[in-house]
Structure 1
Amino acid sequence: MADKVDRLIRLYFQNMFPKLINLKKAELAVHTGTDENVGGGKLENNYNNPVEGAMSKAEMNKDLNDLIRQEYIIGSFYRSARPDIQEVLVDKYRKQMSWVRIASDHNIDEKTARRWRDDFKRGVSAWIP
């Protein structure tokens, strides 16, 4: 089940979302230096505020907004899960333990651990397109 949601959950548990968000913000902060005034006419009503322009560019960027939204959704579902389910998710995604080891460490059936993971993924995938 290595699908998009599984990959995003793995990124969340490996604490990669803050790094990806900061990288995307840094990419947006780099000025390309291209002149959009190709018509040759005089630019009227020129309002140039670089800070406001950078903020506007970041707010309108779909990839950045998707990363922030995905981190929020996964974090919300994780924080609302029961502590035993949280431990299973951490063992699977952060510690990358096998299902057999997770089941024996938590004194549950392997099917139960997988079902908890699948329920978590189903809940997250309902909110992440």
Structure 2
Amino acid sequence: MADTIDALLSDYFSGKIDMQVKLRKLELKTSLVHDENIGGGKAQNKHVRPVDNMLIREDEDTVLHELYKLRNQQQMITDVLATFDYELVRMASLRYDRRKRKNEWKYIALIFNADESTCRKRIRKFKKEFSNKFWKFD
């Protein structure tokens, strides 16, 4: 249970879900069809609508729909985090954001002018309260 909460908070604070959505949309934009008809004739009454085709591909993509579900879950996490103290959320952000590489306990304790064990206890308590609120909200 603690590993799932850690992974969920790490993905949330690192912005992984938004990055995956953008990456999937870029993957869908790239054309997979290579026209090997060199020197041949082209169809004359064929209508090419690239925007419509792109919207259809995004609408039918199951991976993108799963990522949108995760984005909705991300909004629920934001709502749950709004119920906590700002300082505690900032501490969790420093701990779980993988992009900053400053998630060591010494660094966090230095910023909040507290002992490392105190910071660990506060994060442990935060995770417990977060999991109770999040799974109840979910």
Q: TM-score, normalised by structure 2?
A: 0.59
Note closer, same or farther for the CA distance 1:56–1:12 as it changes in structure 2 (3 Å cut): same
1:105 maps to 113
Structure of greater Rg = 2
Retained in 2: the 8 A contact 1:12–1:71?
yes
> What secondary structure is seen at the aligned counterpart in 2 of 1:68?
helix
* Residue from 83, 86, 93 that aligns with 2:86: 83
* Per-residue deviation, 1:21: 1.5
* Per-residue deviation, 1:25: 1.1
Note closer, same or farther for the CA distance 1:9–1:112 as it changes in structure 2 (3 Å cut): closer
2-side partners of 1:65 and 1:91: how far apart? 26
2-side partners of 1:125 and 1:58: how far apart? 30
Retained in 2: the 8 A contact 1:28–1:57?
yes
* Per-residue deviation, 1:59: 4.0
What is the count of residue pairs matched by the alignment? 114
Deviations 1:14-45 (A, max 9, x none): 23332211111112223443xxxxxxxxxxxx
Deviations 1:33-67 (A, max 9, x none): 3xxxxxxxxxxxx9864323323432453223123
* Runs of 4+ residues over 6 Å off in structure 1: none
CA-based RMSD: 3.4
In structure 2, runs of 5+ residues without a counterpart are 34-45
1:37 maps to none
In structure 1, runs of 5+ residues without a counterpart are 34-45
Residues 1-129 of structure 1 mapped to structure 2, 5 A cutoff = 1-3=2-4, 5-33=5-33, 49-60=49-60, 61-94=64-97, 95-98=102-105, 102=109, 105-106=113-114, 108=118, 110-126=120-136
> What secondary structure is seen at the aligned counterpart in 1 of 2:104?
coil
Q: TM-score, normalised by structure 1?
A: 0.62
Note closer, same or farther for the CA distance 1:30–1:89 as it changes in structure 2 (3 Å cut): same
